[in-house]
Amino acid sequence: MDVSERDNSAIPVITVDGPTASGKGTVAHRVADALEFHYLDSGALYRLTALASARHGIAPDDADALSVLAETLDVRFGEQRVWLSGEDVTDAIRAEAIGNRASAIAVHGAVRRALLALQHSFRKAPGLVADGRDMGTVVFPDAVLKVFLTASVQARAQRRYKQLIEKGFSANIDSLLLDLQERDARDRTRAEAPLRPAEGARVLDTSGMTADQAVAQVLEWFSQAQYPQGA
């Protein structure tokens, strides 16, 4: 291991994994703000790949073409906005059709490997909070704190419904329930990086919790974590 790799590995990472609409994005972003850490929304990378593939006419089952596309994504994050090739696509990637396409694309090992280097590039001082589905199990297995957020499918469907309505999208609660159940099954049974708590992860059920309570719990766990600060 060279010096740059050693220095990079000393930068603390908090991973926040969990199923769709478990609250991981909100919690991870607010924890990052509280600690003044960098933030990685890994799910956005798959949604960006999904959006770009739809625009380029690439089928969700064409793993080779999708992996090439993923390697060449022109992505920029900033101030809670997401840009793809210079275009603000923050709202576009949150459409349900893009979310479903992203879930289908994420089963391909070639795509996940293509995005790995991009995800690693977000690890910068003073630290990183990364949310997704395999942040603690695959992408940052050396994270100083691994959190797995969960919630009942009913609670998650209600959250997703509220998010979509607030953003001006049409939504049906019964359809959302079915979509979440299908995504959960696909994420948990895929051969490559299935959704599951990482070894040593702290599991937090947010069904009856507010975002403030969940953030406070993660910050408390981090304050108890042991890592070589200032290394």
- Annotation: binding site for ATP: 18-26
Which residues line the annotated binding site? 18-26
Burial of 3 (0-12, 13-18, 19+ CB in 10 A): exposed
Classify 204 as helix, strand or coil: strand
Residue ranges with strand state E in 87-140: 87-88, 128-132
**How far apart are alpha carbons 77 and 144 in whole angstroms?**
24
13-17 and 75-78: which strand pairing?
A: unpaired
Q: Determine contact, residues 25/77, Cβ cutoff 8 Å.
A: no
| H helix or E strand, kind and range, residue 14 | strand 13-17
